[in-house]
Structure 1
Amino acid sequence: MRKQVAVTGASGLLGRAVATYFEQHGDEVLHLTFSRTDKHSNYLKLDFTDKEAVGRFFASHHIDGAAERRPDVAEANPELVKKLNVQSPLLLATFAKKYGFTLIVISTDYVFNGENPPYETDSPTDPLNAYGQSKVDAEQAVLTQREEGAKVTVLRVPILYGRTEYNAESAVNIIRDVVEDQSGKQYKMDHVQRRYPTNVDAVARVLFDLTHLGKPLPFIVHYCSPSPALSKWDMTQIIARHLHLPISHITPETVVPPGATSRPQDAQLSTRSLHDIGVDVGEEMSFDDWWREYVQAS
């Protein structure tokens, strides 16, 4: 059944992939964004820190579902973290309760400490940094609204990559900039943290399946690429191989440097929660194969 879906952050890496997938499969998408509205004639500018503006939007549109993701915000600005990562999804959850649409809030594997993977949806959270804590706070806030009747689900995902407008949109794609910088500048690349880079196209497919499942969703679900874990150094070697560029200017960092922001060493997410409700996790293209095709195409 055709749905009208609002995608927040529609100008971003994940938002574009979600909007495209839903439109390709017959849904009507409202592209909501606060920045880069000049990039696409279909973008609707909306400030999600403006309660009155958000209220007017949902009052004037019949929304069947919404997908929400706030950007990663630096540790140095905890007030901005709280405003963007906690207050905005909470505001959306209150309107989900008021108008009856389904809200899926994107969260992160950084809610875990990385000591006991793989993590199930009911595993205890224990974030190591302010970003992870902000996501825990956001989850708790929106799920409180669910307990009061809102149709809200949290989807946790790991580090994301995909087709970018500029490489800094993704902590994975930006590695390409480092590889391509052959100026003589020296770089270090983490070879400690085990990561599960997941393509935004796969996340978009999972979101579509969740919104069209036709039955109530769990409080929390997980999606993570089934590919083996990679460090950022592993990713660097793969990307460089497909770019046919040397990486003598990049050194693997095998010890966490003093003063670095704490991150979970291995926060692999179990996808059992999706399997249990009948959502096909599917087979995601491997990181290696995707970069081979992406570089060849570009």
Structure 2
Amino acid sequence: MKILITGASGVLGSAIYAAFNSSSNVTGNKVIGTAFSRAKDHPDLYALDLLDESAVEQTIVEFRPDWIIHCAAERRPDVAEKDPEGAKKLNAGVTENLGKLAAKYSSTLVYISTDYVFDGTNPPYAPDATPNPLQLYGRTKYAGEVALQNIGLENYVILRVPVLYGPAPKNTDSAVNILIDIVQDQSGKSYNMDHYATRYPTNVLDIADFLVRLTDSKLSRPLPKIIHYSGDEPFTKYEMCLIFSKLLKLPHTHIIPDAEPPTGAGATTRPRDCHLDCRETEAIGVEGGLGLSLFEDWWEAKFLKDNQ
């Protein structure tokens, strides 16, 4: 089996790329990962501009993947608001093009989407719940979902995930990992930290392992078109900071909880609670189920290992 992974230098993409490579000795999988801005830093990855449609098609023609796992995206809501056209092209346009190519060359496409397609007013959200994104980022990711649903691609999966954490090239690559830098900043600078929105941080290693098992499973029925995968522990970003503060044995008085919704010029609207209902994911029957890490336990083990 051949697997093509876009965005393989990012937090989620790198975890998925590593997981499929690790399993290749057992499964016989052949894996290719693509990257763009960081390709020069990753000689094992294939440099590919996903906005170059002819180059993307040439890559698929040459590799003929059985599965395309599309992780590349503009994942930062604030950046998306500042460059709406760029976000639309990457999150929606590229997804639509990959869907057409997957249909043309008989690949199954897994599109990584987001819990931010929901407005956060009525959780938990089942896969068939009606999306209502509040900000441009969510709208562009939902536009990618709609594109796949409209082009007639038979074999695809929309995999919605929430905020992610885990091994990362840089802490700034993850909205969770970056909180470690804030906790460790003991320079006297103060930070207002979101204590309004409830998040369900999910480990990229768990998602990667799930996808390896999913693609290798011999299921008795077709895969659902929409799958939810999410951690089940609720935290605000401020509460995550408190956990990091405890584990790192550092004070947190410089981090000020903000329980109000984002307002004012330049503030990007965030939903209050987009908890994804994963009961249907469990019912798919993939051996091992979700296999979720516990947030504090995982970080405690990581910090301990880093300090050895």
- Taking structure 1 as the reference length, the TM-score comes to 0.95
The answer to whether residue 170 in structure 2 is matched with residue 166 in structure 1 is yes
Question: CA separation in 2, counterparts of 1:156 and 1:139?
Answer: 10
Counterpart in the other structure of 2:11: 13
How far apart, CA to CA, are the structure 1 residues paired with 2:87 and 2:22? 33
Note if contact 1:81-1:131 (Cα within 8 Å) is conserved in structure 2.
yes
Work out which of the residue numbers 69, 74, 81 in structure 2 matches 1:71: 74
List per-residue Cα deviations over 1:196-234 (Å, max 9, x = no partner).
Answer: 0000001112222222233522111100013x2000011
Choose which of 41, 45, 48 in structure 2 pairs with 1:39: 41
Residue of structure 1 equivalent to 2:285: 278
What SS does structure 2 have at the residue aligned with 1:121?
coil
Q: State the match for 1:258 in structure 2.
A: 263
- The one-letter code sitting in structure 1 at the alignment partner of 2:301 is E
Displacement after TM superposition at 1:24 (Å): 1.3
Equivalent position amino acid for 1:256 in 2: P
1:56 corresponding residue in structure 2: 58
Aligned to 1:154: 158
The residue identity in structure 1 corresponding to 2:82 is A
Could you say which residue in structure 2 is the equivalent of 1:138?
144
Query: Match of 1:124?
Result: 130
CA-to-aligned-CA distance 1:18-45 (integer Å, 9 cap, x gap)? 0111111122210111121222221100
Partners of 2:74 and 2:87 within 8 A in 1: no
Does 2:283 correspond to 1:297?
A: no
For 1:240 and 1:39, locate their aligned partners in 2 and report how far apart those are by CA, in whole Å: 32
Q: State the secondary structure of the residue aligned to 2:5.
A: strand
2:218 equivalent among 210, 214, 218: 214
Q: Percent identity?
A: 40
Q: Which runs of 5+ in 2 are unaligned?
A: none
Does the 8 Å CA contact 2:262/2:269 hold for their aligned counterparts?
no
Cα distance, 1:31–1:127 mapped onto 2, change above 3 Å: same
Q: Which runs of 4+ in 1 moved over 6 A?
A: none
Match of 1:4 in 2: 2
Relative to structure 2, which stretch is displaced further, 285-294 or 100-109?
285-294
Equivalent in the alignment of 1:91: 97
Pairs aligned (count): 293
- Counterpart code for 2:55: A
Q: Return the alpha-carbon distance in structure 1 between the equivalents of residues 102 and 261 of structure 2.
A: 42
Structure 1 unaligned spans of 5+: none
- Does residue 111 of structure 2 align to residue 105 of structure 1? yes
- Quick check: 1:94–1:150 contact (8 Å CA) kept in 2? no
Deviates more, 1:168-177 or 1:212-221: 212-221
SS in 2 for 1:156: strand
In structure 2, C-alpha distance between the alignment counterparts of 1:61 and 1:178, rounded to whole Å: 42
CA distance in structure 2 between the partners assigned to 1:232 and 1:281 by the alignment: 27
Q: Distance in 1 between matches of 2:122 and 2:225?
A: 22
The superposition leaves residues 239-294 of structure 1 with CA deviations (integer Å, 9 ceiling, x where unpaired) of: 11111111111111111242221111110001122123212434422110111111
1:43-74 Cα distance to aligned partner (Å, 9 max, x none): 10011111111111111112110110213142
CA-atom RMSD, angstroms?
Answer: 1.3
Mapped pair 1:236 → 2:246: no
